[in-house]
A = this chain, B = another copy of it.
């Protein structure tokens, strides 16, 4: 999980404010995780309430066990998702959003809403583009 190497010349000052436009800003990988294919959907789904692994997998249609597991691990590591394990047989794990995760998920939800509400515009643009 190493970030790309940096020369002294391009090194951003770690102490200054986070600027995602900077090549090696620490916020970039986090943004990627959040905006990733399954990260986005998982976060927005959890906005609906707590989910168990299998239920979340059904909600996020098409995700494999492997990718959902991996995605949730990353989101948990970044402090966006909380993972509650209830030791028992069969195992029971519940995923919830942290306060920060909720903030982020709400923005993603708005983004998705804008997109879904304007899919006809998008489709029209795509059709026009392909005619040229």
Residues of A within 8 A of B (CB): 2, 4, 6, 17-23, 26-27, 30-32, 34-37, 40-41, 44-45, 59-62, 76-80, 98, 100, 103-104, 107-108, 110-112, 114-126, 129-130
Contacts and interface: CB of A to CB of B under 8 A. Distances in A.
A2 to B, nearest CB: 7
A78 B125 CA distance: 6
Contact of A36 (B35, B116, B125): B35
A23 B72 CA distance: 19
A77 B129 contact: yes
Chain A interface mostly: helix
Nearest to A63: B23
B35 A20 contact: no
Contact of A20 (B26, B112, B122): B112
A127 to B, nearest CB: 10
A45 B21 contact: yes
